[in-house]
Amino acid sequence: MGKLLGGVRVVDVTTFVTGPLTTKGLSDLGAEVIKIETRGRARGGAVNLSHTDTSKLSITLNFTSPKGLELAHRLVAQSDIVVENHAPGTLNRRGLGYEDLKKIKPDIIMLSSCMQGQTGPYASHAAFGHQLAALTGINQITGWPDREPGWVGPYTDFVAPRYNIIAILAALEYRSQTGKGQYLDMSQCEAGAQFMAPAILDCVVNRQVANRMGNKYASAAPHNAYRCQGEDRWCAIAVFTDEEWQSFCKVIGNPALAKNPRFSTVLARKDNEEELDKLVSEWTINRPAEEVMNSMQAAGVAAGAVETIEDQMDKDPHLKYRNFFRELDRPGGGGKYRAPPGPHFLLSKTPYELRRGPLLGEHNDYVFKDILGLSNEDIAELVNEGVIG
């Protein structure tokens, strides 16, 4: 079976999380992703090696030098896609903007994934995913109503790559039909704002401005994470309908509670939610989280144990069955490690391959000799000049 993106070559000029995760999605599906790195600039932490750069190739090239830029252009001329996530205008100033590259490869597909897009009054603003979570409104609805907005971390860093990959696949399909490439301007902020669509719609239609609700939900009760047996063990439970409520009461061994007028309807349960949460906690506190989850799910009530990373990697039978955490060789030797994450989806007709992340410059010989046709003497001279790391 062939790989889904076999035969597609990608030049990766990315850093930190969003860009590398975008090209990782392509490389794991069979594209030949060549990551351009420099020895003068450290990678974005060990995470890049083990997590965001799996299945890629790495070369060290100083494309700020004229000879390095020429080599980068030659590589683009033999590639299909270029992905970058630097501040707007950065690659334009270095001769690697879309207008430069389409002269070299007219059907090139180039994706730029920056904070707020390539145009507009805020295009030049610097930010990371932490700040973009605030700009998209995610922080505003995260946390408790009597406290400051929650801090969810670089949430958009893990949202934008999915949209980037879809856009690239669409551009590949467009090129297969027309023979034309195109430029993809992807705003990470706008990708994150997509996840606010229900709150935005509520504001547009009902003039309701979403705010922090903690673990509550307007049309469900009980709806919370409840303490279970053991140290820091919890289970999330959500009851939406009266039928689910009746099933819930049977599970906890108190079917009469379903007819109690303080809890018999959703509205009544919402009015007495504090008392209800206390009743639920009194039942869950004496049971393991997994037991609570399984008994609730068996009765048709939505529930999920709050898993730690250790739970996911070592104890979750479902993730283990689906081989979510793949074992990879450690770069440079030293045994194996389990690499997160696994595939976002499993394709029945094409394989999903996960290979370890590359060492810095590990594939210089392959790229500079086999693809670009440089001799050993050429490479030695460029190394001495600081063009190749």
251: domain range? 223-313
Residue-level pLDDT at 43: 57
Query: Which of these three, 313, 337, 360, is where a domain ends?
Result: 313
> pLDDT tens digits, residue range 144-203?
999 999 988 898 999 999 999 999 999 999 999 999 999 999 999 999 999 999 999 999
Residue among 93, 109, 133, 126 nearest 22 (CA):
109
> In sequence order, which ranges of 53-157 are alpha helices (DSSP H)?
66-77, 90-93, 98-104, 129-135
Tell me the average pLDDT across 285-306. Answer: 98
For residue 4, tell me if it sits in a domain.
Answer: no
DSSP-assigned letter for residue 326: E
pTM for this prediction: 0.90
CA–CA gap between residue 187 and residue 120 (Å, rounded): 11
* Type and span of the H or E element at 389: none
Residue-level pLDDT at 47: 43
Residue-level pLDDT at 137: 93
Kindly name the residue from 80, 157, 232, 378 that is annotated as catalytic.
157
Contact present, 113 and 83 (Cβ < 8 Å)? yes
Query: Which of these three, 293, 313, 333, is where a domain ends?
Result: 313
> Is the per-residue pLDDT at 248 higher than 60?
yes
Residue-level pLDDT at 40: 55
Beta strands in 248-320 (DSSP E): 302-305
* Type and span of the H or E element at 31: none
> In sequence order, which ranges of the chain are alpha helices (DSSP H)?
18-27, 46-47, 66-77, 90-93, 98-104, 129-135, 160-178, 188-193, 197-206, 242-251, 266-271, 273-284, 289-298, 309-310, 317-321, 364-365, 376-384
Q: Do 87 and 157 belong to one domain?
A: yes
Q: What CATH number does residue 259 fall under?
A: 3.30.1540.10
Residues 285, 289, 290, 295, Cα dihedral to 10°? 50
Q: What CATH number does residue 33 fall under?
A: 3.40.50.10540
Contact present, 328 and 355 (Cβ < 8 Å)? yes
At 1, the pLDDT band (50, 70, 90 cuts) reads low
157 is catalytic: yes
